[in-house]
Structure 1
Amino acid sequence: MSSEQIEEKSVDRTSAAASPVVDVALPSGLRRYTILFVLCLAQFIDSYNNTAIVTAIPPISQDLSISNSESVWLLSGYQITLAAFLLSSGRLSDLYSPKWIFVVGTLLMSFCALGAGFVRSEIPLVVLRAFMGIGAAMNIPSAMSLIIKLFPEPAAQSQALAAFVFISGVGNVLGLIMGALFVSFANWTWVFYFATITAFIAVIAILLLLPSSANLEDAKTEEDYKRKLLRLDPIGVSSMTIALILFVFAVTSGSIRGWDTAQVIAPLVLSIVLIIFFGFWETRMPVGFAAIPLSMWRYPDFTILIIVSLYPFMWWASVQMLLSWLYQEVYGWSTIIAAVHFLPLGLVSFVMVVVSSALQRRFPLKLVILLGQVLALAGSVILPFASSKERYWSFTFPGFVLGSAGTVIIFTTTNIALFTITPPEVAGVVGAIYTCALQIGSTAGPAIVTSIQTSVQITHGGPGGFAGRAAGFWFLFAFGVAEMVGVLVFMHHKVPPKSTGGQVA
């Protein structure tokens, strides 16, 4: 398919046949699903690394003499590099073998997690966490690209992608509980050792199950090595990577040092300038050489779906952040008891992924997303009233159930919709943009909520009060309302139920 054809591609399944992907023998059914399990395992570890550290931060800070304000970088170091390097790794996965991008990224994560378990100094630990984020950024788009090539049939592909996305949400929720278990019954180092062992097993399994990636690569072209390097768009990718690093750094620093400081304003302004430069640069690049071609944003509903993708991880991360400190420091609950009270978030996810898949087969995806948003708003509007531990069952529990149910529906359905409206040859970049939106939400949301909480609690109850946290929950509600209005106004009914049509990349 020429680059002009890619740009002008309509959203019907017939164009998928024009893709340069050759019809080659795929692994057997059992092997394919075993590979899917391994890819989902790696996705679980990526998400686990994002939340398991939350319960480990207090003992790590105590052992390594890290101040409370600086300990946030143990979490943000991973999130910054994960969000920043997704675009470049997605581009690599589209142009080169996704198998080897996955292997290198997962090995990098495994070895850095091993080092993180041994170091006893703040700076090296934060650096290793940052490199773990780069590893995760490499294996997420490459895993999505492998899934798309392993499951070319639309129905099977939708189910495989839904499973992959679902595992990410499960990892975010269960990571908190598993981290608490390691801290309570072993040592905080096992938070890292578990990631080391599991990621290494995933690499070995992929090497054994996919001894050669030749049967999953696109047909050979006449492009020489230099031309492929140019197609990586190094200037565009570098500018966007630096912009994302500066943006996440500014947002994280804003919640610690205040939004009116030079340490926040300078990187925030620079990130905006670089994003504008990136947009200008991409318009100057020939079609097929741009990291994010302008044609990507012309696919129906692509932009609104990316905006909606900000919400699921923002909601989960903000809820856990607002309540975990309250449970342990104010209510006096142990780490494991606090984690158990978050368990409904994970248990609901297991049920709702099945419900979500059933809904996606029967109704237009716009209506499914709207249903998820209604449930998420219902949960968010209840949580501001969960002001004491006596109100857990009457307010917190139903808020967890409704909110988590809604965000799971949003999470899985936006993923399916995005791959439905885009061609398979840009799957790596689409996966990277989608995951980047999720990670920006998980970083920016808690930072904004923390700033709101801090501002309110100065005059209303202090750190041990609930007024600041209630204000944070109201922000989540307001943000959800804005996104729901966006879906109602800007999303079309062109994405059908996943079993009846449309291209599933």
Structure 2
Amino acid sequence: MPYPKSLALAVLSASTLMTILDGSIVTVAMPAIQDDLGFTDAGLSWTVNAYLIALGGLLLLSGRLGDLVGRKPMFLIGNVVFTAASLLAGAATGPAMLIAARFLQGVGSAIATSVVLGILVTLFTEPGERARAIGVFSFTGAAGASIGQVLGGVLTDTLGWHWIFLINVPIGVLTVALAVKALPADRGIGLAAGADVLGAALVTSGLMLGIYTIVQVERYGWLSARTLGLGAVAIALLAAFLVRQATAATPLLALRIFRSRNVSGANAVQMLTLSAMFAFQIIVALYMQRVLGYGALKTGLAMLPAALAIGGVSLLLSARLVARFGARTVLIAGLVLLLAGMTWLARLPVDGSYVVDLLPMMVLIAGGGLVLPALTGLAMSGAEADDAGLASGLFNTTQQVGMAIGVAVLSTLAASRTGELLGSGATEAEALTSGYRLAFAVAAALLLAAIVVSATVLRRPASDPVPGELAVAA
């Protein structure tokens, strides 16, 4: 007897939420981890960086492998690896063990996450049904980082930092058990149809090296010989990958996918948007802890309105609005809300009030609950059925690269401004706040660029309502 599609959607969403949480749940627990395991200041950042490097570097390869060997097998393997790595992270007794476990978590997350959208769009084929499913799925991406900070603060202060990882174990076991029965079986098109080993090596090494270079910028600087040298090698590897894809008989990334304006445009918009949004999660938490003096639990709870706003809009409104007004219109409306919120943060005072200076942004960030479902639908609308896993892997890759770039660029700008002001005699609170304001101003500029790309590049999918038809229907 076949299982209901709602169970399959729940399994896909639970897996994605679990892996996305791990990208942010560590942030509020980092002081406790440093004190317990003896991390240096520079080494502590690798509890986040190791995860991002593995996740961002392997998503594209994993998405294509899902097309070739089957998406369900890849989903199961990824969740098993992620769950085992979570157990290892929770049992870590030193920095090296935790960093290795975080890297393995990133590997498992990449394998599982890369095929989720491919499974979803082949499972939900009717436009209205697919829009609702994408709304539920996108909630996990849009609200996941905020939920991670809330949960991280609660677990760290009540049970200890180990539980931010150990909580994944029972969830992962249940997800795998349900996925075996709930997800449709598929065998893929076979390795012979596209096992581009050289292309895989080029893109994986290029992405990993590129993300590694980006996350190290805060330590070494943008213009250091190390950054410029590694960046040049990463660019060369990715350029060689594109040349390989243009000439290979069975490319890993069929360049024809970029002929779709919606695929290309949606991925570009996502990179710009996630660069701003993920940096918001990190920098607002730093402002609350380092300037306002909040603890881990209070910081997590202070982020709760953002998670509720994003989740409510994703689950209750996004599908209806997309069905009525179209994905492109809803996307631009969501970006405008995010731009307003980020502009508001660019004026943060040193003695900020949560209700006056932060809570309005927690409400306006509900725009993320409109942006990500609309982007997901647009990105997948231009992909052929055989390329669904590839399009899913590409979409998730630009998501992770966008996050890495946003954190590196905005945190580096904030740190540089803070250092300059400290050197000129400003107080620590004044210097930190000025640095954060600069970061939010740049984030606002990124969102403005995302609006421009959305308005000029993206096109209305065939399944979207036509404005004239809406007027008649009304």
**Alignment TM-score, normalising by the size of structure 1:** 0.87
- Match in the other structure for 2:227: 264
- 1:357 is matched with which residue? 319
What residue is the counterpart of 2:80 in the other structure?
107
**How much does 1:217 deviate?**
4.2
Trace 1:317-336 onto structure 2 (pairs within 5 A): 317-336=278-297
The reply to whether residue 485 of structure 1 matches residue 452 of structure 2 is yes
* 1:337 equivalenced with 2:291 (yes/no): no
Deviation at 1:165, TM superposition (A): 1.9
1:32 aligns with 2:21: no
State the partner residue of 2:218: 255
Counterpart of 1:282? 245
Contact 1:47 1:168 in 2 (8 A): yes
Q: Deviation per CA, 1:175-219, whole angstroms, max 9, x where unpaired?
A: 111111110000110011011221121111112435xx54x446x
Structure 2 residue aligned with 1:88, among 39, 61, 75?
61
Counterpart for residue 370 of structure 1: 332
Partner letter of residue 372 of structure 1? G
1:302 aligned counterpart, secondary structure = helix
**Residue 315 (1) aligns with residue 282 (2):** no
Structure 2 equivalent of residue 384 of structure 1: 346
Pairwise CA distance, 1:495: 5.2
The answer to whether the aligner puts 1:44 opposite 2:25 as a matched pair is: no
Q: Which residue identity lines up with residue 490 of structure 1 in the other structure?
A: V
Partner of 2:106: 133
Alpha-carbon distance in structure 2 between the residues aligned to 1:462 and 1:258: 24
The more displaced of 179-188 and 152-161 is 152-161
SS at match of 2:336: helix
Is it true that 1:420 corresponds to 2:393 in the alignment? no
Query: Secondary structure of 1:491's match?
Result: coil
Change (3 A) 1:475 1:361: same
Q: 1:40, CA displacement in angstroms? A: 0.8
Q: CA deviation at 1:499?
A: 10
Q: What SS does the corresponding residue of 1:115 show, helix, strand or coil?
A: helix
Tell me what 2:196 maps to. 233
The superposition leaves residues 137-185 of structure 1 with CA deviations (integer Å, 9 ceiling, x where unpaired) of 1111222222233223333223222211221222221011111111000
| Cα deviation, residue 422, structure 1 | 1.6
Aligned-residue identity in percent = 21
| SS of residue paired to 2:152 | helix
Q: Are the counterparts in 1 of residues 128 and 323 from structure 2 also a CA contact under 8 Å? A: no
Q: For 1:412-449, what per-residue CA distance to the aligned partner results, in whole angstroms no more than 9, with x for missing partners?
A: 10101111222221111111111111111111101111
Give, in angstroms, the shift of residue 494 of structure 1.
Answer: 4.8
Superposition map of 1:294-305 within 5 A: 294-305=255-266
The reply on whether 1:65 has 2:38 as its aligned counterpart is yes
Distance in 1 (CA, whole Å) between partners of 2:379 and 2:462 is 9
Query: Does structure 2 conserve the Cα–Cα contact (< 8 Å) formed by 1:282 and 1:293?
Result: yes
Residues 1:153 and 1:355: Cα distance change in structure 2 (over 3 Å) = closer
- Which amino acid is 1:309 matched to? Q
Deviation at 1:312, TM superposition (A): 3.9
Equivalent residue for 1:459, pick from 401, 420, 429:
420
Query: How do 1:424-443 residues align onto structure 2 when only pairs under 5 Å count?
Result: 424-443=385-404
The farther-off stretch of 137-146 and 484-493 is 484-493
- Aligned-pair distance for 1:313? 3.1
Instruction: Summarize the alignment of residues 202-221 of structure 1 with structure 2, pairs less than 5 Å apart.
Output: 202-210=175-183, 214=185, 216-217=186-187
Is 1:407 aligned to residue 380 of structure 2?
Answer: no
Point out where structure 1 has 5 or more consecutive residues left out of the alignment.
1-26, 501-505
In 1: Cα distance, 2:90 partner to 2:352 partner: 38
* More displaced stretch, 429-438 vs 324-333: 324-333
Residues 99-124 of structure 1, C-alpha deviation per residue, up to 9 Å, x if partnerless? Answer: 11111110101111101111211122
Matched, 1:152 2:125: yes
Unaligned runs of 5+ in 2: 468-474
Q: Aligned partners of 1:340 and 1:331: how far apart in 2?
A: 14
Q: What is the alpha-carbon distance in structure 1 between the residues aligned to residue 394 and residue 46 of structure 2?
A: 23
TM-score, normalised on structure 2? 0.92
| Cross-structure match for 1:23 | none
Secondary structure, in 3 states, of the residue corresponding to 1:69?
A: helix
Structure 1 residues 364 and 67, CA gap change in structure 2 (3 angstroms): same
Amino acid at match of 2:429: G
Q: How many Å apart are 1:400 and its aligned residue?
A: 2.5
How far apart in 1 are the matches of 2:358 and 2:272?
19
More moved, 266-275 vs 354-363: 354-363
- The alignment of Structure 1 onto Structure 2 pairs a total of residues equal to 460
Report how far residue 94 of structure 1 moved: 0.7
| 2:459 aligned counterpart, secondary structure | coil
